[in-house]
Amino acid sequence: MTLLAGEFAPYGASHWGAVAVFAAGAAVLILLGRRLATEESRLRFSRGLALVLLVLHLPMQLYVLLPEQFGLGHSLPLQLSDLAWIAAVVALWTHARWALALTYYWNLTLTVQALATPALRGADFPDFGFLMFFSQHILEVWAAVFLIWGLRLRPDWWGYRLTLLVTAVWAVVMSVVNPLIGANYGFLSEKPPAGSLLDLMGGWPWYLFIGYALLNGAWALMTWPWAVITARSSRPVG
């Protein structure tokens, strides 16, 4: 595929710049989170981040719903990343167990994959579409990093099972919706054109089952260390 001048190219300067912003911001949020000494200050700062996430995401969602931008295949908030930012806002605001689980598992695997292999077609930085795509995905991962490593809230096996269930239900629903509206939300109908890890998992529908199985294993590995830490910390001394 030939790229036009000014068109976004994966692994170009703007892509690496976005990755650098993500890494630097994640480190800052971890340090800030660990400096918050009281539960009140932790919750206040966390809710501030939730408001930032909400204020930045709502205009983006409204933008793609404008008549000149609207398309059934990309404007509806049906991607897991759309659900992930909502879960992140709730997790930051409430520290609810279920929202923390969805934020952790979705954003540190699926959203990170979107950052690593962005399925973004259009103008490069500073185009609004570019800023919308990367700010949304970066903020979602930042939320998970802050909650888990900054505030040290711990995922558990209950959250692991919940996330697997919610993800499976979403996939089943979208597998029905996508053909009805001629869309490909979640890349459930076909793989992204830009290339991704799905290319290593065979053709449709096999890559869906293989991908879900890999998520099952990856999320289990992401749960196990925290479960061990929790068990050790609750073990009586002596």
Which SS3 state, helix, strand or coil, does residue 68 take? coil
Cis peptide bond prior to 205, omega within 30° of 0: yes
Helix, coil or strand: residue 229: helix
212: tokens are 């879900």
- The beta-carbon contacts of 228-233 under 8 Å, at least 24 apart in sequence, are 229/154, 230/154, 230/156
DSSP state of 188: -
> DSSP for 128-184?
HHHHHHHHHHHHHHHHHHIIIIIS-----HHHHHHHHHHHHHHHHHHHHHHHHHT--
Instruction: Please check the confidence at residue 178 and state whether its pLDDT lies above 70.
Output: yes
Predicted confidence at residue 236, as pLDDT, reads 59
What's the pLDDT score for residue 80?
A: 87
Quote the pLDDT of residue 2.
40
Measured in degrees and rounded to the nearest 5, phi and psi for residue 7 equal: -90, 145
Give the mean model confidence (pLDDT) for residues 116-128.
81
137-146 pLDDT, tens digit per residue, is 899 999 999 9
The answer to whether the pTM exceeds 0.85 is yes
**Which residues partner with 123 through β-bridges?**
7
Instruction: Give the confidence band of 219 by pLDDT, cuts at 50, 70, 90.
Output: very high
Mean pLDDT of the residues in the chain? 88
Q: Cα–Cα distance between 114 and 196 in angstroms, integer?
A: 9
- What residue ranges in the chain does DSSP mark as E strands? none
Percent of the chain with pLDDT over 70: 94
Tell which wins on pLDDT, 2 or 63.
63
Q: How far apart are CA 179 and CA 200, in angstroms?
A: 24
Q: pLDDT grade, residue 233 (50/70/90)?
A: confident
3-state secondary structure of 120: coil
Point out the least confidently predicted range of 107-111, 128-132, 195-199, 224-228: 195-199
Three-class secondary structure of residue 189 per DSSP: coil
- pLDDT mean over 144-163: 96
**CA 138/CA 203 separation, integer angstroms:** 29
Q: How far, in Å, CA of 221 to CA of 209, rounded?
A: 19
User: What is the per-residue pLDDT across 6-37, written as a single tens digit (0 to 9) for each?
Assistant: 888 888 899 999 999 999 999 999 999 999 98
Q: Tell me which residue of 141, 87, 95 sits closest to 114, measured CA to CA.
A: 141
Look at residue 235 in the predicted model and tell me its pLDDT: 63
